[in-house]
Amino acid sequence: MTTPSAKRPPRPHRRPKKDPARIVAFRALRAVDERDAYANLILPSLLREAEKNGMDRRDAALATELVYGTLRLQGTYDAIIAACIDRPLREVDPPVLDVLSLGAHQLLTTRIPSHAAVSATVELARVVLGDGRAKFVNAVLRRISAQDLDAWVQQVAPPYEKDAEDHLAVVHSHPRWVVSALWDSLGRWQPDAAGRSAVEELLQADNARPEVTLVARPGRATAAELREALPESEPGRWSPYAVRLAEGGDPGGLDAVRENRVGVQDEGSQLVALALAAAPLEGPDRLWLDGCAGPGGKAALLGALAAERGAALVASEKQPHRARLVARALDGNPGPYTVIAADGTRPAWRPGSFDRTLVDVPCSGLGALRRRPEARWRRRPEDIAAFGPLQRDLLRTAVKATRVGGVVGYATCSPHLAETRAVVDDMMREMPDLEFIDARPLLPGVPALGEGPDVQLWPHLHGTDAMYLALLRRTA
Ligand SMILES: C[S@@+](CC[C@H](N)C(=O)[O-])C[C@H]1O[C@@H](n2cnc3c(N)ncnc32)[C@H](O)[C@@H]1O
């Protein structure tokens, strides 16, 4: 029997240490999971709030890395966590899983030393989950810390030879159906080794932090003056109006951005607008339409290009709040323009009114996975089919809105064949008065554009979002 004096004295209760970066990261992941929040919108608002309470820039950068990195590599971390617990992953409470994923990311992908990653994450668990669940977190993280990412992936990914898509899905953290769709679009006809390396390069590019690219809107700013204002910047790869910022660059403080002369725009989107504007056209070139304009990036570039040759732009967008963003993007445009809030499938204009028409249709966004890290987990295969009828309707109305001899651009920020080729091929069958324009020569200097006549851009080949563009001409 133990005497009272032999008993260990109870440990004084220590309050968990509050770590602003990890708390912000946890709150962002919870908002993404619980409320379908977008990381690129919720994180800046959480950071602004934390900065008011004294969070410094280093902590803000750490929180950003933790949120984006954890969301991107979620699929790989899930497989590793599943191997470290003795129940199915779906039975782990989502907040516990978020803390475990944050810990896995620090342990396996960042330079944070293992002991610091474990102790900081266990402290976070004590704050947001309570002491009991923090013990579970501690035990799982210690198991994860036993080996590095490569060793874990070797252990948990099914062999490539047995199931190539499952293997790539775990290794590169994409849902299996997305791996499959991207591979189809890249072209599976390539011999296996080439096909495998192409899809792996693409999946890796989706997991890399994208650069911030700016557009100097013609007639309002030049890339040269922008580069002078941003000494660390690089010229665009393909667009003469593009300037690329070094990692983490924040263009928000630039006067030219505030004055709307410069915008943030991926080079793939710039190329779409430039190719539409460069397509050969006989006859008048006075009136252009952007039929799906919100939030207005392409409309602002098209408006500036139209102004240079004395043409006017009509920018139409169904959602009134997005139409307001279009109006803001076009504010100060050097030439005439009109912004309307209208359903592009019920035209507010007479047939055959426009010389050039763009429809950048609503799509799955599988081409912008670098920027929207949560999108790959949120999208479902059935979403692709759901977009199909609207994409066809919008293209059909765009064609009818364009005069005979005029040019129609069909664009998506998705490389999924059901949203790209399939839509355009259906329209070519349905409307015999349409012909393809080869889009490749309209993107001068851009390599690896495939067999045409449409073009598919790729993050791993062009450093852009995976934008698709088909250019069509009305012949009769
Ligand atoms: C891919 S976004 C366009 C992006 C835009 N071109 C840009 O560069 O900023 C597609 C847009 O189409 C709009 N949209 C959806 N259905 C529409 C419809 N029936 N008519 C017109 N616009 C529609 C969406 O609200 C969304 O703003």
pLDDT tens string 411-443: 999 999 999 999 999 999 999 999 999 999 999
Q: Please state, in angstroms and rounded to a whole number, the distance separating the CA atoms of residues 76 and 424.
A: 35
Name residue, tokens 């349409």. Answer: 434
Is 413 tagged catalytic? yes
CA geometry: angle 89, 91, 94, nearest 5 deg: 80
Strands 312-317 and 402-412, bridge-based pairing:
unpaired
Ligand 1 centroid–CA 299 distance in Å is 11
- Cα separation, 245 vs 318, whole angstroms: 32
Determine the distance separating the centroid of ligand 1 and the alpha carbon of 294, expressed in angstroms. 5
Look at residue 315 and give its three-state secondary structure.
Answer: strand
Calculate what percentage of the chain has a pLDDT beyond 90: 90
pLDDT band at 7 (very low <50, low <70, confident <90, very high): low
What is the rounded distance in angstroms from the CA atom of residue 263 to the CA atom of residue 270?
Answer: 11
Pocket test for ligand 1, best of 313, 317, 326 (most atoms within 8 A of CB): 317
Contacts of 308 (CB under 8 A, 6+ apart): 218, 219, 335
Q: Which residues line ligand 1 (CB under 6 A)?
A: 269, 292-298, 317-319, 322, 343-345, 360, 362, 413
Query: Among the listed ranges 4-13, 74-83, 127-136, which one has the minimum average pLDDT value?
Result: 4-13
What's the pLDDT score for residue 359? 98
| Rounded mean pLDDT, 39-48 | 95
Q: What is the pLDDT of residue 278?
A: 98
What residues are paired with 245 via a beta bridge? 212
Name residue 262's beta-bridge partners. 216
DSSP 167-236: HHHHHHT--HHHHHHHHHHH-TTS-HHHHHHHHHHHHHHHTSPPPEEEEE-TTT--HHHHHHH-TT-EE-
d(CA 107, CA 73): 13
Atom of ligand 1 nearest to the CA of 343: 20
pLDDT higher than 90, residue 326? yes
Share of the chain above pLDDT 70, in %: 96
Angle between helices 74-83 and 131-144 (to 10 degrees): 100
- Residue located nearest, by CA, to atom 17 of ligand 1: 318
Domains and CATH numbers, the chain: 20-149 (1.10.940.10), 164-206 (no CATH), 212-264 (3.30.70), 267-474 (3.40.50.150)
Question: Ligand 1 pocket: which of 290, 313, 318 to mutate (most atoms <8 Å of CB)?
Answer: 318
Distance 39 CA to ligand 1 centre (A): 21
- Set 100, 306, 413, 446: catalytic member: 413
pLDDT tens for residues 342-391? 999 999 899 999 999 999 999 999 999 999 999 999 999 999 999 999 99
Nearest alpha-carbon partner for 356 in 434, 273, 428: 273
**Spatial distance between the Cα atoms of 125 and 196, rounded to a whole number of angstroms:** 40
Q: What is the ipTM of this complex?
A: 0.99
| DSSP class of 347 | -
Mean pLDDT, the chain, whole residue set: 94
> What's residue 9's pLDDT?
64
User: Around Cβ 64, how many Cβ atoms within 10 Å?
Assistant: 20
The whole-number pLDDT of residue 394 equals 98
List Cβ<8 Å contacts ≥24 apart for 277-281.
Answer: 277/302, 277/305, 277/306, 277/356, 278/442, 279/356, 279/407, 279/409, 279/437, 279/439, 279/442, 279/471, 279/473, 280/437, 281/355, 281/356, 281/405, 281/406, 281/407
Please tell me the distance from the alpha carbon of residue 347 to that of residue 364, in angstroms, as a whole number: 24
